[in-house]
Structure 1
Amino acid sequence: MSAHLRKRSLILSGHDTSVALEPEFWQVLEDMARAHNQPLPVLVAQLDTERRPIQSLASFLRVQALLWLQKQSTPQTPASSV
């Protein structure tokens, strides 16, 4: 993973904020947004509503990106037909 961070400015709950993440995490978040057919700022705002106040936004986004990747790599069990 690269050592440099990319900072992006977003508006969350009506407040300007900036988040610095490694480019690889931004790429996964962009993939997540694309998979949900929504712009990246909308996805981040939605995820932010699930974050505990004591957890940093950057840390939370990294964990969400990791969880999403894990879910993508887990084989989905087809629904059984009855």
Structure 2
Amino acid sequence: MTGGVIKRSIEIAGHRTSVTLEDAFWNGLRDIATARGSSVRSLVAEIDAGRGEHNLSSAVRLFVLAYYRDEASGTTGRRKKSSGD
């Protein structure tokens, strides 16, 4: 597994914000966005809109974890359909 923490600036709803994630989470986020035919920026905006009280970096980590847990259990396709994707 590769290394450290990477901080990136992303524009969401017209303002720039920084997101700090481990490389594995950036890779997972990119792969999920690609699988959905989306961009990382729009996926992060979607996560931001539904994150509640979690900070954005934590919300992204939880989203990536949930995606891969669903994928491992075979429920990823059902989750997409139920969320309107």
Alignment of 1:58-69 (within 5 A): 58-69=57-68
Percent pairwise identity: 35
In structure 2, the residue matched to 1:79 is none
| Structure-2-length-normalised TM-score | 0.80
- Greater share of helix: 2
* Residue identity matched to 2:36: H
Shift of 1:2: 5.3
Ranked by relative contact order (alpha carbons within 8 Å, sequence separation 6 or more), the top structure is 1
Question: TM-score, normalised to structure 1's length?
Answer: 0.83
CA RMSD of aligned residues (A): 1.4
1:23 matched residue in structure 2: 23
5+ long unaligned stretches in structure 2: 76-85
The Cα shift of 1:72 comes to 0.8
1:28-56 per-position Cα deviation (integer Å, ceiling 9, x unaligned): 1111101110111111111111011x310
Name stretches of at least 5 consecutive residues in structure 1 with no aligned partner. Answer: 77-82
